[in-house]
Structure 1
Amino acid sequence: MIEPNRQDRATNGDDDSVRRQAHAWVVRLTSGTATQDDAKALAAWRSTPEHDAAFRAAAGLWRRTGDALAATSGPAVAREAPRGMTRRRMLGRVAAGGVATASIAAAGATLVLQLPTLRAAYRTGTGEIRTATLPGGILIELDAESALDAHLDDMRQDIVLHAGSAAFTVPATRASLTVVVGEARLITEPSEPAEVVVRCKPRRGLSGWVGGQDADVACLSGRVTVVPAPGVPATRLAAGQEVGIGPDARGPHAIDVAATAAWRRGLLVFRDTPLSQVVDDLNRYRPGRIVVASSATAARRVTGVFHLARPEEALGSIRTALALSEVRFGDRLVVLR
């Protein structure tokens, strides 16, 4: 066998080190605990072509792993449990497999969307709600795990919502305000007061991997025009109406204004809401992650009023009301079945 020379060994060692660092950055960004300082440090690390290429390769591998697992996780098939395998242990293994698939798939989408969120001027963490007044008297209220940038100057007059939910209160004294969510735009009427709530989330499927977003736009007062995408006809909303943005979104429909964005009053209000959406909301206020094990369970409906400050209490009430079981992995990961 021919032994590689020292220079080759050094080069290979350097390449391995860069690859390990790139994978460590991917893990860090998809952990849910990355900070703005992490984003700045990553940008500095990727300033060299070698590091940038390694990071892109690691991110691509992570995304393809999620795709492969999602593609192979078909309907559950009943099989005889191996000897010595108790029902409890078997359920634990099945749940763990589902968690791995869901977590890696979600992490791939998170990786694409994380950097704009980390760099955002206005950002909230888990369980945090933030209020700020922008130039022109615009009041913004950010729900937990939300992020936006405001461009209110001579060059631009818009707000970009990157993640989560936000409420915008626009005074009558200013010109129209434009809020950007992915490809969509919503515009308030000039010189008219308006109150609008926008909720966005990564779009399902391939487009979600590259930053595609769905959204719900609710007009609580005033009027707002919603343009889902360039070239798509606009929808005009009056007070008490909501419209969805996305392939499977609902058209304009009436809403309960008092229940919409109840997080502003420290509450979560659900009325015949799919469990999948309820879990998404709870995950923004509870450390760790709640995962629903099957699509049938995710489609179950929830009605109730819960306090944001007590997410574990809300989880217990929902589990009892729907007669669900749970599997816990440590203190943070919960699988509902």
Structure 2
Amino acid sequence: MTRTELDAAGIRDAGLRASYQRCRELNARHGRTFFLATRLLAPAQRPAIHALYGFARWADDIVDEPPTGDDVDSAAARLDAVAQTMRDSFRGIHDDPILAALADTAARYGIEHSLFDDFLDSMRMDLTVTDYPDRAALDRYIHGSAAVIGLQVLPVLGTIGPRSEAAPYAAALGKAFQLTNFLRDVAEDLDRGRVYLPADELAAFGVDRARLQWCRTNRRTDSKVRSALAAQHAVARDWYRYADAGIALLHPVSRPCVATAAVLYSEILDRIEQSEFAVFTARATVSNARRTRVAGSALARALWARRGSRARALTPTGG
């Protein structure tokens, strides 16, 4: 099936095909829900999505564990090296397979290079920032870590009108996904020394890092933390509602994929709420059976959309 996707995307060079295959493997291994959703895209679109995911995953892994002392400088140096190698790739100098695929995707779809710089800026924040005093500070991080992902993907998905009209919704969906991760992973993030929730909004419920840590240590969610997390849950829901209005602005071929990803990711919020915010006890997930049912229902819509769009095929435009 990979060969079919690469052929459909017009990727002929053997080295470049291997680069895209490497990105696809990263997506399949680490982004199960995201990878499942990509199966609903037209084959020609999938390699580009895998390349964008592969780059994000590769860079994120550098800062996944919080470095200390000299390790901070080492991780920062590695991110700087990634940034320089990325810029070299954009100029046609390919020393890394993931970045080779990224540069090809960016060129094919006219993706702004600044979006990748913004992403790396947020990755650098993870080296030194462990708390966010307010929503504005957290939003600065989320812009680079998540909103720009939606903007990177948008040219591959295609739109029925000006891309600028769909851009705010694409960024919002990336933000909604990230906020979902923050709620689901509160315990794991604490283990890494990080809190991705606005301190002032937590404080309104009498919650601080020490109280979150107590919940983590005792594997329970006390009433104050439950109320604080419920408020953050409502914020995430609002972003899903806003982003949902933008799906109709996408190319018809891409709508089933994005709608499926939104449904499955938002259902993580359902699981968190159903557990009464027991995020310190277990990680909220959507079952394989549920993912399969949702994707199966969307597949028929995706195939119908592709059939109806053959006369106006979705191709890279560079703009």
Which TM-score tier does this pair reach, normalised by the shorter chain? under 0.3
- Return the structure number with greater relative CO, CA threshold 8 A, min gap 6: 2
Question: TM (normalized to structure 1)?
Answer: 0.23
Structure with more helix by fraction: 2
- Structure of higher CA gyration radius: 1
